[in-house]
Structure 1
Amino acid sequence: MSASAPGRLLSVLLLLQSRGRVSARGIAEELGVSVRTAYRDLGRLQDAGVPVYAEPGRGGGYRLLDGYRTRLTGMNEGEARALLFTGLPGPAADLGLAAEVTAARLKLLAALPAGLREQAARSAETFHLDAPGWYREPEQTPFLSLFADAVLGRCAVDVRYRRWRAPQEVRRRLRPYGLVLKSGVWYVVAAGKTADAGKDRAATYRVAQVLDAEVTEERFDRPADFDLGAYWAAYLDDFRTRRYTGTATVRLSPRGRLRLPDNVAPEVVRAVESTATAVGADGWVEAVIPTESTGHACGELLRLGTDVEVVAPAELRTAMSDTVAALARTYGVGRLPV
């Protein structure tokens, strides 16, 4: 996938600066764009005042005028790191890099030729990231910047952590490999000994569940073959497999099917779409959906009210009936709070 136009032009400029002479085809292959796009980008650099010229003939290509250099200098280590998050002001602030992001962006803009500077500024003004999901406040993560420093410095961290199963509060020494932001929630992927495994293994910890953390003197090397993106993809696949432990057969009205995406997980919506069969002339369908537990499924399906009916299993149908009966008793005619 190619970069945005302003970012790609900067890549072309730095490529010319570092290679000396590059063909349009070489630029296209390096940046994953078409040769036509490479020619267009070279023209845009010339229009922006960058002294790019062509050398014809065998072994020719494009190069910068001798002595021309971009002025991407003066950045300290923290500002260089912050460049990874220049398009993500919210996460950068979470990681304690807000000031570095501002400084790096100003230096980057000042170093660009006037034409590119205007394009980059327009691009920055038309993109905003708001990571947290709807209907919830952002999580409090007081130890996030500590983990960010530990990841970069390869430092082990002693933590006190709250988990969902007993014993709920545990202590661990973690060797953090990386941080992941998922739907506004920060996770740290770290190696550490666990009671059930008895040996070091990579695991995922929710940063908001860390009750206390302290960086230690221990240093470690992350495994050379560890890929954070690949690990996270595998973790999500495993989570989905472990999440759903059963199935239920339900009947849905046409309105119920329309309301599904706003009330249940995408996996449930896809299951309805793939298994739905008509059960009457009024548009109702019957489908098989995955379930986490009886209690969880009952809570989710009750959101659909009379637009859903549980056919099976019996324990889920009973749970729905009991809950509705309890609600009827609570809100019965003539009953008012004392």
Structure 2
Amino acid sequence: MKSSRLISILLLLQTRGRMTAAQLADELEVSVRTVYRDVESLHAAGVPLYGDAGHSGGYQLLAGHRFSRLTDLYAGEAEALFLAGIPGAAAELGLGAHFVDAQLKLRASLPAPLRDHVDRLRSRFHIDAPGWYAENTEAPFLPGVAEAVRTSRVLAVRYRRWKEPTDVDRRLEPYGLVLKAGRWYLVAGPGPRTYRVDQILGLDVTDEEFDIPEDFSLPDWWAAHQIAFRARLHGGDALVLVSPDGAKRLTGEAARALADTGVPEPDGRIRATLPIESVAHAQHAFLALGADIEVLEPAELRDRLAETVSRLAARYGVTPPLPERTPPPRTP
């Protein structure tokens, strides 16, 4: 582990130049004290590494010194690089040819045995990111948006949103692009806010430049955005009884809530509290489970489901059975 970390320090300094002990510690997810000890080990090994004190100080390699052998790839690293690339996404961004060229160069740099191993591995794995039922959305302006992201240029867009007025003009500062479940999202200021790229109706990449806030991190912002989005979807709870077969069909937040709150009942069903976005949304979602779920609360949701079932029974000419009732005790 330590030897791998020492190599990582050298690679970071070789590619980024001067870095402080705190920056190295953050990058390697270790303590600053550990970085100090690693630097001492590198000094003892004769590595031409020196540090400067002060506000603008830090560690760096002797000018012009590079460790070419450090960039040799291990088998696992080569596998990860070839398998992590998504050619479809690169093509959508207008980088398909560059992606192919980069893979050819990487492949050519590998020794023959490792090159053959990677070729075999690539033939056995295929990445298909979108879900089974995802609609095939086209985003004709994606290459232009990607170019604006790369060059930090302001966008003037015509955008279609879900509420009135649906078609609006926006001035956007493109901070970054996110590919989620086969769909591209633009994170842009002011705000920032999220925009579906496939909903852009018109695009003009202006000559105006902008600066992304120094404290902005696209992965961190997206993770927080996802958490907030899920919280907004949780508009209430439903107390339900779910059959074992129904439990297997629950997914996402509902499946997690079942695991957290589920209590077995004598009849084999599971009593649980499931999050719902709204009564109307839950009505459609729970109907898909048919008789494998029974809603106990809220009363409005239970009544809506009962009404829908009655209407379906009437449409198909079936008289719904009366609910089971416990017979009254006999009088001696």
What is the TM-score when the length of structure 1 is the normalising length?
Answer: 0.69
C-alpha distance 84-186 of structure 1, shift in aligned 2 (>3 A): farther
Query: Partner of 2:240 in structure 1?
Result: 250
For structure 2, the residue ranges without an aligned partner over 5 or more in a row are: 16-24, 29-43, 48-65, 72-80, 319-332
Aligned to 2:258: 272
**C-alpha distance in 1, partners of 2:246/2:173?**
47
Q: Could you tell me how far 1:117 is from its partner in structure 2?
A: 3.0
The residue identity in structure 1 corresponding to 2:154 is: A
| 1:277 to partner: Cα distance | 2.2
* Residue 309 (structure 1) aligns with: 294
Q: Does 1:225 align with 2:236?
A: no
Of 97, 100, 103, the residue aligned with 2:101 is: 103
Shift of 1:15: 5.0
Q: Deviations over 1:223-257 (max 9, x none)?
A: 12110000001000100111111111111122221
Tell me the distance in 1 between the aligned counterparts of 2:150 and 2:133.
33
Looking at structure 2, the residues matched to 189 and 176 of structure 1 have their Cα atoms a distance apart, in angstroms, of 6
Is the contact made by 1:86 and 1:101 (CA closer than 8 Å) also made in structure 2?
no
Name which of structure 1's ranges 247-256 and 159-168 shifts more when overlaid on structure 2. 159-168
**How many Å separate the matches in 2 of 1:150 and 1:68?**
35
Amino acid at match of 1:284: R
TM alignment of 1:87-126, pairs within 5 A: 87-126=85-124
CA 1:112–1:15: 2 relative to 1, 3 Å: farther
Q: How many residues are paired up?
A: 264
Report the counterpart of residue 187 of structure 1 in structure 2: 185
Letter in 1 for 2:298: P
Q: Which residue of 2 aligns with 1:324?
A: 309
Cα distance change, pair 59–240 in 1 and its aligned pair in 2 (3 A): same
Deviation at 1:84, TM superposition (A): 11
Residue 195 of structure 1 is matched in structure 2 by none
After TM superposition, give the deviation of residue 330 of structure 1 in Å. 2.3
Instruction: Note if contact 1:294-1:316 (Cα within 8 Å) is conserved in structure 2.
Output: yes
1:136 deviates by 2.6
Q: Which residue in the other structure is 2:142 paired with? A: 144
Q: CA deviation at 1:123?
A: 4.1
Q: How does 1:29-40 map to 2 (within 5 A)?
A: none
Q: Give the deviation of 1:89 after TM superposition.
A: 0.9
SS in 2 for 1:310: strand
CA change 1:105–1:112 in 2 (3 A) is same
Deviation at 1:214, TM superposition (A): 1.6
Name 1:49's counterpart in structure 2.
none
**CA apart distance, 1:122:** 3.7
Q: Which amino acid aligns with 2:204?
A: E
Amino acid at match of 2:198: A
SS in 2 for 1:139: coil
Q: Aligned AA for 1:275?
A: T
Give the letter aligned to residue 287 of structure 1: A
Aligned equivalents of 1:125, 1:323: Cα separation in 2:
50
2:18 matched residue in structure 1 = none
For residue 59 of structure 1, report the CA deviation from its aligned partner.
2.5
Q: Secondary structure at the match of 1:201?
A: coil
Amino acid at match of 1:242: R
Partner SS, residue 251 of structure 1? strand
Question: Amino acid of the residue matched to residue 146 of structure 1?
Answer: G
Query: What one-letter code is carried by the residue in structure 2 that aligns with 1:308?
Result: I
Does the aligned pair in 1 maintain the 2:83–2:125 contact within 8 Å?
Answer: no
Return the letter of the residue paired with 1:270: R
CA distance in 1, matches of 2:217, 2:170: 23
Tell me how far apart the structure 2 counterparts of residues 325 and 178 of structure 1 sit (CA, whole Å). Answer: 50
Contact kept in structure 1, 2:82 and 2:103, CA below 8 Å? no
CA distance in 2, matches of 1:247, 1:138: 33
Q: Deviations over 1:55-103 (max 9, x none)?
A: xxx6368xxxxx9969x9xxxxxxxxxx999711111111111111112
Whole-Å separation in 2 of the counterparts to 1:249 and 1:163: 34
Tell me the secondary structure at the aligned position of residue 135 of structure 1: coil
Aligned-partner residue type, residue 113 of structure 1: P
- 8 Å CA contact 1:253–1:283 kept in 2: the answer is yes
- Residue type of the alignment partner of 1:175: E
Question: Which residue number in structure 2 is paired with residue 59 of structure 1?
Answer: 45
Structure 2: which amino acid aligns with 1:294?
V
* CA separation of 1:69 and 1:284: change in aligned 2, threshold 3 A: closer
Q: Is the 8 A contact 2:241 2:272 kept in 1?
A: yes
Q: 5 Å matches for 1:3-42? A: 15=11
Distance change (3 Å), C-alpha of 1:138 and 1:84 = farther
Are residues 224 and 84 of structure 1, via their aligned partners in 2, closer, same or farther at CA, if it must alter by over 3 Å?
Answer: farther
Contact 1:132 1:138 in 2 (8 A): no
Give how far 1:171 is off: 1.6
Contact conserved, 1:251 with 1:284, CA < 8 A, in 2?
Answer: yes
Identity of aligned residues (%): 47
